[in-house]
Chain A
Amino acid sequence: MAPVIRHSTGVGFCTPGAQADIAERPSAVSGKTSETRRITLTVNGQQHDLQVTPNAILLDVLREQLNLFGTKKGCDHGQCGACTVHVNGQSVNSCLLLACMQEGVDIVTIEGLAESAGFEQGHHPVQEAFLEHDAYQCGYCTAGQMMTASAVINDDTIDGDEVSLREALSGNICRCGAYKNILDAVQSARGKMRGGQ
Chain B
Amino acid sequence: MRQFELESVEAIDQAVRHRRVHDGQAFIAGGTTLLDLVKLDVMQPEKVVDVTRLPLKRIELLDDGRLKIGALVSNTELAKHEIVMRDYPVISEALLSGASTGLRNMASTGGNVMQRTRCPYFRDPDMPCNKREPGTGCSAIDGINRNHAVLGTSEQCIATHPSDMCVGMVAAGATLVLEGPDGQREVAFEDYHLLPGDTPEREHDLKPGELITHVILDAPRGGGQHYLKLRDRASYEFALASCAAVVNLDGDNIGEARLALGGVATKPWRADAAEAALKGQPATQESFERAAEAAFSDAVAYSHNGFKITLGKQAIVRALRDATARARA
Contact = CB atoms under 8 A, between A and B. Distances in A.
B207 interface: no
Contacts of A84: 102
A100 interface: yes
A57 B235 contact: no
A55 B103 contact: no
Nearest to A173: B236
Interface residues of A, number: 37
B103 A171 contact: yes
Contacts of A152: 101
Given A92-B106, A166-B235, A170-B236, A98 B6 contact: yes
Task: Choose among A53, A76, A170, A172 the residue with the greatest number of B CB atoms under 10 Å from its CB.
Answer: A170
Given A96-B35, A98-B28, A171 B102 contact: yes
Contact of B235 (A30, A54, A98, A167): A167
B119 to A, nearest CB: 15
A34 B6 CA distance: 11
B2 A30 contact: yes
Contact of B103 (A27, A93, A151): A93
A90 interface: yes
A148 B3 contact: no
Interface in B28-42: 28, 30-32, 35-36, 38-41
Nearest to B52: A101
Interface in A153-177: 157, 166-173
Contact of B2 (A29, A91, A168): A29
A78 interface: yes
A97 interface: yes
A10 interface: no
Contacts of B41: 29
Contact of B100 (A32, A55, A90, A170): A170
B105 interface: yes
B273 interface: no
Contacts of A157: 80
Contacts of A54: 3-6, 48
Task: Choose among B8, B50, B76, B235 the residue with the greatest number of A CB atoms under 10 Å from its CB.
Answer: B235
Contacts of A172: 100
A6 interface: no
A76 B39 contact: yes
B185 to A, nearest CB: 29
A125 interface: no
B3 A32 contact: yes
Contacts of B38: 55
Contact of A97 (B4, B101, B106): B106
Nearest to B30: A96
A148 B105 CA distance: 11
A192 interface: no
A172 B100 CA distance: 8
B28 A101 contact: yes
Contacts of A171: 99-103, 236
A101 B50 contact: yes
B1 interface: yes
A186 B8 CA distance: 39
Nearest to B97: A167
Nearest to A147: B102
B235 A55 contact: no
B36 to A, nearest CB: 5
B195 to A, nearest CB: 28
Contacts of B101: 91, 148, 151-152, 168-171
A158 B234 CA distance: 17
Nearest to B6: A54
26 contacts: A27-B2, A27-B3, A29-B3, A54-B4, A54-B5, A76-B39, A78-B103, A81-B100, A90-B76, A96-B30, A96-B35, A96-B36, A98-B48, A98-B50, A100-B50, A101-B50, A101-B52, A148-B102, A151-B101, A152-B101, A157-B80, A169-B101, A171-B102, A171-B236, A172-B100, A173-B236
Nearest 3 interchain pairs by C-beta: A171-B100, A54-B6, A170-B235
Given A96-B106, A171-B103, 10 more contacts: A27-B2, A27-B3, A29-B1, A55-B38, A81-B100, A96-B35, A166-B235, A170-B234, A171-B99, A171-B236
